[in-house]
Structure 1
Amino acid sequence: MSMRSTSTTCEATTCDEPKSVALKEENENAHKNAVPNCDEIGPFHEIAFVFCMCCAQLHAQAAVAQAMSATQEIAKSFGVENSPGEQAWFSASFSSTVGTFILASGKLGDMFGYKLMYITGTLWFALWSVICGFSAYAKSAIFFDVCRALQGAGSALLFPNAIAVLGHYYPQGSRKKTIVMCLFGAAAPSGFNIGALFSSFFGMKVWWPWTFWVCGISSVCLALLSYLFVPKKIGTPSRNEPFDWVGSTLAISGLILFNFAWNQGSNVGWQVVYNYVLLIGSVGLLVAFAVVEAYLKNPLVPIQLLKGEPAFVLGCIATGWSCFGIWLYYTFQWAFYIDKVNEVIAAVQFIPCSVTGFMASFTTAYLLRRTRSSFVMMMAMGAFFTGIVIIGTRHVGQTYWGQKFVSCLIQPFGMDMSFPAAMIILSNHFPPSKQGTAASLVATVQNYSVALGLGFAGTVEKYKTQHLPETFESKLLGIRVAFYMGMGLAGLGVVFSVIGGILQWKEDSKKAQPYKAEQE
């Protein structure tokens, strides 16, 4: 029995060797095809190129902030200032489509080229940013939500393809690749701060649509700069590979309905029958998607590559970024309704996040080259949990420089340590021809979890306060229980990261055993 097992193992190893060698050679040589490649590009050209790619993250997070910091002004325009559920949709509609359509847009980048899809996404994002501004004339919150969702579809195109461009342009394991991935992550808090400051300023001093119009103008400029400075021939488009229409339809339909059911449940309540129907239907579609992907030759999501380390990384991203979405939205709600500060002051209070965001990114770049990725992910999950516990237990009337300031210093470490770590891990596990898919998986889980976390927290808030009169105390209770929901999600992320760390340690130990045996 032992000889048979050994023989089978040797045969499997022999069969896998040519594939492993071919994959290794493909990974090592993929970055050399770009014009100019990473060894030939000039300093100014490279800075402009990396800046254009980081702007994908910056624009995505700025777009999230556009609706959060100006929630009250937007709600007044549409007559929904007394409907927290409707207001939550201003942000959730954007994040849900970003997270949903990223899954297919990464594959489109693999097929038609990352640079083309990036520029296409930037222009689409610009178009719907402008239309979001003009939706103020329609006087319809639903129309605004639809425009926000279509704006998110543009971000879904540019976001994963920017990551794929960086992942494909620089060789695996290189110092530059680690640094640019961390810079990409560091752009998140800066982008949010820029979006929050502009939207709050325009909301108070001019008119809130101007933040969307300015965003559209800047996106057109970004598309032009990207055309000029992003190197050519990054990646080899695999147009002969068929697009997974069946899987894409099932995944997009299932994800949209699942997210809609949870966010609408916090708006109209779960006693409404169609919410249950949509939730059950969405689960059925997602199960069908998983079954179909397991049998397709060219699946949208290569399930076989998600075993081991990539699987636990995606689980951590899901729980951590759900917590982050709750922390972000309800920290603004606390500022508006409990601290009674205006939009500009609320936005300014988040500025420390940008500073610690850069610190976290370069700390991550240092740690990823010297420690296990599981350790970095554990630190990130610990930051998510600590940050939301500190803000969630804050006392009414406490100064900003107390718990809120400390929370704003800690929370970016969760964002900017988890995202680069996850991107580098998945980028190194996927072949160059699948870099768009790897990027889309991380970005899908990240953005989708933000919207889904708001749905979970909103449902808890609604059912804890719906039988109470609308008073200061009931509003405080609703925000508190939403924070508690975020704490639970972050705690689950800590558990996932610890389990993943143990599994990675065991896997590394098994790999080290043959070398120890040879030395003995």
Structure 2
Amino acid sequence: MRRWWPLTAVCLGSFMLIVDTTVVTVALPDIAGDVHASLGAMQWVMNIYTLALGVLTLSAGSIGDLFGHRAVYAGSVALFALASLACGLAANESVLIAARGVQGIGGAAMFVTSVALLGTHYSDKARGVAIGVWSAVVGAAAAVGPVFGGLLIQYLGWRAIFFINLPLSLVTLALTLAFVTATPRRAGATVDGPGILAFGVCSGLLTYALISAGDEGFARAQVIVLLAASAVALVAFVLIERRRRQPMLDLGLFRSRSFSSLMFCVTASAWAFACLVFTSVWLQSLLGLSPLQSGAVLLPLAVTSFLVSTFVGRVLHKVSPRVTIGLSLFLLAVGSALVSLMLRPDSGWQALLPGLAIIGAGVGIGIPAGGAAVLASVPPERAGMGSGTMASFRQLGQSLGVAVLGLVFQAGSGAWGGGGIGASVESVAKGVRPIELVQAGASGLSRVYVVSAVVAAVGFVLAVSFIRKPPAVAPAEPVPAASAK
């Protein structure tokens, strides 16, 4: 039993992190009313967290490789707890936004080092089981977050969604220090400061550009300038890494069509999560469901994701990632297409359930399969780099998905008129819910899932065509005694 305590520590921290990501969406109206925040400020309560994740995931993975994954994980849990306390005590929008940014810093390091810790503590079948269980927890947390948040907000108020992180963080920290084996700092290794700076600028500008594009479209001058500046920073990052003796990111990995295709598949799979943003808008703002009810609609996705992840983890070491990742994207495509086909102008929330269940199965296969494939592609001492790269591409995929699908949602909801989504949602909040508005929302959401299905289908083709099982990489040092064999 002792060998599974590191997995418990990682899963508890990840559950807290993912729930906190989704639960804030449900709490925004209450937060805005309590701290008298503007709509723009509330958007930044969400966006600053996304921005921090986009900027820091790869850097956090690299730092974990250098200074030890346990040390970085424990430090990130402590930082996340302090930031959560600050969020819960925030008296105005400025303090809340700043605290959410610090939460994002801790969250980025926590999420990246989670995968790395599983890679260094478990091997062979046990690694597959550990990644499967962790993936199941992550998928379930993302789906039940709105339900959990709705309960906390209804009975304890919005500040409870942040205060609940304090006891969870203390337990996670205690388990980490007691059962997770410390890894020594890599001899002679140094922090890739120029690479971290260049990648931070590149990913930060790109994430901000995608956030802006989701609100204003890609044709706006500000968005174009941000994208161009991000491209320049990317070129600088590549030039820096090619000259580093110990680069933050091994660019040689991308010479492999298998690895490059894997990263595209990770990006494509994130669009399924981006769809949930607009699904929540349709359920709450147009159908009039409460946060608790809309969260319950997503339970089929959570249940199938949890069950499938747990099962798939047991067989990951036997099956080629081409099969598992390909099957995941195939199910995401089929599930998204089914949601689109079943959505009609007069549809209710029941129309979502069959498609969401299939999407959940795809997520349940894809998360553990992607994590196992990435960890198998890099030596154990660079597990942080591998997991950081995967997390960066997943974050990019979600940010890009929200931006593009937001425009698709608006275009597909043309009947909403000149006021756009914001004006329509505002009218619903005042008790006005004309049938034309509900029908337009269903049309827009249907198109969102069509686009998601196409992206997943492209990923499926790449997965079955190019992804191959990487050669086994011998560990640089014996697996710690407390780990699983």
TM-score using structure 2 length: 0.85
Are the aligned partners of 1:326 and 1:483 in contact in 2 as well (CA < 8 Å)?
Answer: no
Cα 1:352–1:396, aligned 2, differ >3 Å: closer, same or farther? same
| One of 249, 255, 278 as aligned partner of 2:226 | 278
Residues in 1 aligned to 2:189 and 2:449: alpha-carbon distance in whole angstroms: 41
For residues 214-254 of structure 1, give each alpha carbon's deviation from its aligned partner in whole angstroms, at most 9, with x where no partner exists.
12331132112211122x24x44215212111111111111
Residue equivalent to 2:163:
213
Q: Which amino acid aligns with 1:70?
A: A
Residues in 1 aligned to 2:208 and 2:139: alpha-carbon distance in whole angstroms: 26
- Answering whether residue 251 of structure 2 is matched by residue 303 of structure 1, we say yes
Alpha-carbon offset, residue 344 of structure 1: 1.5
Q: Which amino acid aligns with 2:309?
A: S
For residues 137-164 of structure 1, give each alpha carbon's deviation from its aligned partner in whole angstroms, at most 9, with x where no partner exists.
20x2x65344323212111111121211
Are the aligned partners of 2:13 and 2:172 in contact in 1 as well (CA < 8 Å)?
Answer: no
Cα 1:336–1:78, aligned 2, differ >3 Å: closer, same or farther? farther
Moved more, 144-153 or 479-488: 479-488
Residues in 2 aligned to 1:383 and 1:88: alpha-carbon distance in whole angstroms: 32
| One of 9, 16, 21 as aligned partner of 1:59 | 16
For residues 452-467 of structure 1, what are the structure 2 equivalents within 5 Å?
452-461=400-409
- Answering whether residue 305 of structure 2 is matched by residue 357 of structure 1, we say yes
For residues 360-371 of structure 1, what are the structure 2 equivalents within 5 Å?
360-371=308-319
Residue equivalent to 1:95:
50
- Answering whether residue 147 of structure 2 is matched by residue 197 of structure 1, we say yes
Are the aligned partners of 1:64 and 1:95 in contact in 2 as well (CA < 8 Å)?
Answer: no
Residues in 2 aligned to 1:250 and 1:153: alpha-carbon distance in whole angstroms: 17
Residue equivalent to 1:421:
369
Count how many residue pairs are aligned between Structure 1 and Structure 2: 454
Residue equivalent to 1:111:
66
Q: Which amino acid aligns with 2:334?
A: T
Alpha-carbon offset, residue 467 of structure 1: 5.4
Residues in 2 aligned to 1:77 and 1:390: alpha-carbon distance in whole angstroms: 40
The runs of at least 4 consecutive aligned structure 1 residues that moved more than 6 Å come to 505-508
Residue equivalent to 1:14:
none
Residue equivalent to 2:451:
488
Instruction: Give the 3-state SS of the residue equivalent to 1:299 in structure 2.
Output: coil
Instruction: Give the 3-state SS of the residue equivalent to 2:164 in structure 1.
Output: helix
| One of 83, 86, 89 as aligned partner of 1:131 | 86
Instruction: Give the 3-state SS of the residue equivalent to 1:288 in structure 2.
Output: helix
Alpha-carbon offset, residue 492 of structure 1: 2.5
Cα 1:286–1:494, aligned 2, differ >3 Å: closer, same or farther? same
For residues 449-493 of structure 1, give each alpha carbon's deviation from its aligned partner in whole angstroms, at most 9, with x where no partner exists.
223322222344456668524445457646743653453244233
Instruction: Give the 3-state SS of the residue equivalent to 1:70 in structure 2.
Output: helix
For residues 84-115 of structure 1, give each alpha carbon's deviation from its aligned partner in whole angstroms, at most 9, with x where no partner exists.
x7655544432332232110111111111111
Residue equivalent to 1:337:
285
Residues in 1 aligned to 2:104 and 2:446: alpha-carbon distance in whole angstroms: 26
Moved more, 124-133 or 484-493: 484-493
Are the aligned partners of 1:262 and 1:455 in contact in 2 as well (CA < 8 Å)?
Answer: yes
Q: Which amino acid aligns with 1:118?
A: Y
Moved more, 351-360 or 375-384: 351-360
- Answering whether residue 172 of structure 2 is matched by residue 222 of structure 1, we say yes
| One of 428, 436, 460 as aligned partner of 1:497 | 460
- Answering whether residue 207 of structure 2 is matched by residue 259 of structure 1, we say yes
| One of 261, 264, 269 as aligned partner of 1:320 | 269
Q: Which amino acid aligns with 1:72?
A: P
TM-score using structure 1 length: 0.80
Alpha-carbon offset, residue 367 of structure 1: 4.8
Cα 1:360–1:450, aligned 2, differ >3 Å: closer, same or farther? same
Residues in 1 aligned to 2:169 and 2:59: alpha-carbon distance in whole angstroms: 22
- Answering whether residue 111 of structure 2 is matched by residue 159 of structure 1, we say yes
- Answering whether residue 367 of structure 2 is matched by residue 408 of structure 1, we say no
Moved more, 303-312 or 251-260: 303-312
Q: Which amino acid aligns with 1:144?
A: L
Are the aligned partners of 1:325 and 1:451 in contact in 2 as well (CA < 8 Å)?
Answer: no
Structure 2: runs of 5+ lacking an equivalent: 425-432, 472-485
Are the aligned partners of 2:374 and 2:386 in contact in 1 as well (CA < 8 Å)?
Answer: yes
Are the aligned partners of 1:89 and 1:263 in contact in 2 as well (CA < 8 Å)?
Answer: no
Q: Which amino acid aligns with 2:121?
A: Y
Are the aligned partners of 1:391 and 1:403 in contact in 2 as well (CA < 8 Å)?
Answer: yes
- Answering whether residue 442 of structure 2 is matched by residue 442 of structure 1, we say no
Greater C-alpha radius of gyration: 1
Residue equivalent to 1:178:
128
Cα 1:101–1:460, aligned 2, differ >3 Å: closer, same or farther? same
Alpha-carbon offset, residue 498 of structure 1: 1.7
Alpha-carbon offset, residue 196 of structure 1: 2.1
Q: Which amino acid aligns with 2:19?
A: A
Alpha-carbon offset, residue 494 of structure 1: 2.2
RMSD of aligned alpha carbons: 2.8
Alpha-carbon offset, residue 206 of structure 1: 2.9
Are the aligned partners of 2:301 and 2:356 in contact in 1 as well (CA < 8 Å)?
Answer: yes
Moved more, 46-55 or 333-342: 46-55
Q: Which amino acid aligns with 1:210?
A: A
Are the aligned partners of 1:167 and 1:177 in contact in 2 as well (CA < 8 Å)?
Answer: yes
Are the aligned partners of 1:93 and 1:148 in contact in 2 as well (CA < 8 Å)?
Answer: yes
